[in-house]
Structure 1
């Protein structure tokens, strides 16, 4: 068994690519199925409106800034 990817032969590189591709498809499939399953349970996102309040001035010192 060759433990270096630099000196590995063609079949070893092909195995690495196939394993990475299968793992990527599996992760993507699980993510899509989890996302589609959550929409039926009522966990959909709703838009919230945030209104601006009074303006605030942030300083780095402990002194009060007067404008």
Structure 2
């Protein structure tokens, strides 16, 4: 996951990491847009949105209740 306006680590690095994760059977790349919020570094411009996404991802991958 990455914010499209991240000024700390450019979004191109997220795409590069995703492209190189060829051994992962379930690789995913989530880019948060400015329109939905959470487009800055670590989603600080909409942290609750990012937190819910992460909690749901953990629940989906490891089992448990979604946020």
TM-score normalised to structure 1 length: 0.30
Tell me the TM-score normalised to structure 2 length: 0.30
Larger Rg: 1
Which structure has the highest strand share of the two? 2
